[in-house]
Chains A and B, each alone.
Chain A
Amino acid sequence: MNKKDQLQLGKHFFNNRLLVGTGKYENHDVMKKSIEASNTEMVTMALRRVDLKNPKENVLNYIPKNMTLLPNTSGARNAEEAVRIARIARAAGCGDFIKIEVISDQKYLLPDNYETIKATKVLAEEGFHVLPYMSPDLMAAKEMEKAGAAAVMPLGSPIGSNRGIENKGLIKILINEIQVPIIVDAGIGKPSHAAEAMELGAKAVLVNTAIAASKDPIAMARAFDYAVKAGRLAYLSKFGEIKSQGDASSPLTGFLRKEQ
């Protein structure tokens, strides 16, 4: 039991349970300030071919030093492609965390659990701290855990949809049955969704669109920081019973009536 209530992912410990993505920001400066405002300790990023006609700057230049990097395998349509991206990311000096994201469904952007399990096995064996992004399914989560994943990341609702924790029931089952941390990733649209995930028992959340695409990403990042802390503290404080009837909070008074 750790006194500081740290998030443990494999051999690493974190003091903050909000993970933040770097996509969709208006510019790198807003992105950098939002990341700082969120107090996050881990950010995700993607790897792509340099656009030779229009080479943009490397996003890593705008991420505060000492940040743990969580490169994702976005673009991969199968396990082999995901493994290749992961190896490139590690060889580039990003550390050994990898978010496996294998998506061939372009309509809903739902991840391919089967290919993700395969990639998890290979990469965990190569010493990566694997965080697989997945569609909440208990059997798939068990396979990922068995394969050596450091956490399992079920989607709350489709990427970028802002619809919140639509998969609440299935996510709760994962929280109950899987030993490694459950990190809700995708679909979180508001700080209240993040708080909801934490109250459910998720160990962390990953948020990108809700912050980056808001009108004031820096303020929104701060709001998410508060929400994740509130949700976690609430979860640890153990909720009161849910009752079907009312149960007065103030003591009954006798002095208001003539008869005692």
Chain B
Amino acid sequence: MVKVNGKEYPYQGKTIEWILENLELDASMVIIEYNQRILEKSQLSTEVEKGDQLELITFLGGG
């Protein structure tokens, strides 16, 4: 299992690009933290492994 935003998903072996599409997310609108490091947009073809952690972060209104 792979953790995405704290929840487990059966995504091991999939690319991050695939995961974003599966979650219906636009890669240009999210910041991707992969195992605690910011992922460059050029690295979307990275394949995730069991136990990996993805944080998908975006900007929201705030003061």
Known contacts A47-B58, A52-B4, A88-B57; is-contact A21 B63 (Cβ 8 Å) = yes
Residue from B23, B38, B61 in contact with A88 in the complex, judged by beta carbons closer than 8 Å: B38
* Shortest CB distance A226–B (Å): 21
Do A48 and B61 contact each other (CB < 8 Å), given the known contacts A55-B24, A92-B31? no
On whether A25 and B61 interact (CB within 8 A), knowing A49-B56, A92-B31, the answer reads yes
Docked Cα-Cα span, A59 to B58, in Å, equals 8
A50 and B56 contact, Cβ closer than 8 Å, known pairs A88-B33, A91-B31: yes
Bound complex: CA of A24 vs CA of B25, how far in Å?
Answer: 24
Chain B residue at minimal CB-CB distance from A53: B23
* B binding-site residues for A, Cβ under 8 Å: 4-7, 23-25, 29-31, 33, 38, 55-63
**Complexed CA–CA distance, A208 and B60 (Å):** 14
The reply to whether A49 and B62 contact each other, CB–CB distance below 8 Å, is: no
Among B24, B58, B60, B62, the one with the most A-chain Cβ atoms within 10 Å of its Cβ is B62
Q: State whether B38 touches A92 (Cβ < 8 A).
A: yes
Residues of B within 8 A of A59 (CB): 59-61
Pairwise interchain contact B25-A55, C-beta atoms closer than 8 A: yes
Q: Given A55-B25, A59-B59, 11 other A-B contacts at CB below 8 A?
A: A21-B62, A23-B63, A46-B62, A49-B56, A49-B58, A52-B7, A57-B29, A58-B30, A60-B59, A74-B63, A92-B59
Residues of A bordering B, CB below 8 Å:
21-25, 31, 44-50, 52, 55-61, 71-72, 74, 87-88, 91-92, 94, 159, 186, 206, 208-209
Closest A-B pairs by Cβ, 4 of them: A46-B62, A21-B63, A208-B63, A22-B61
Give 6 CB contacts A-B under 8 Å.
Answer: A22-B61, A49-B56, A52-B7, A52-B23, A74-B62, A74-B63
Interface contact B31-A72, CB-CB below 8 Å: no
Q: Is the CB of A47 within 8 A of B57?
A: yes
A72–B59 Cα gap in the complex (Å)?
Answer: 10
Give the docked Cα–Cα distance between A88 and B5 (Å).
Answer: 15
Q: How far is the CB of A10 from chain B (nearest CB, A)?
A: 21
Known A-B contacts A52-B5, A55-B24, A92-B38; A44 and B62 likewise in contact (beta carbons under 8 Å): yes
Nearest residue, chain A, Cβ from B24: A55
Interface centre among B7, B29, B33, B58 (most CB of A within 10 A): B58
Whether A50 pairs with B25 at a CB distance below 8 angstroms is: yes
The 8 Å CB contact of B59, one of A52, A58, A91, is: A58
Known: A50-B25, A55-B24. A21 touches B56 (CB 8 A): no
Task: Name which residue of chain B comes closest to A48, CB basis.
Answer: B60
Of all chain B residues, the one with the shortest Cβ separation from A69 is: B59
Which residues of the other chain, A, contact B63 by a CB distance below 8 angstroms? 21-24, 44, 72, 74, 159, 186, 206, 208-209
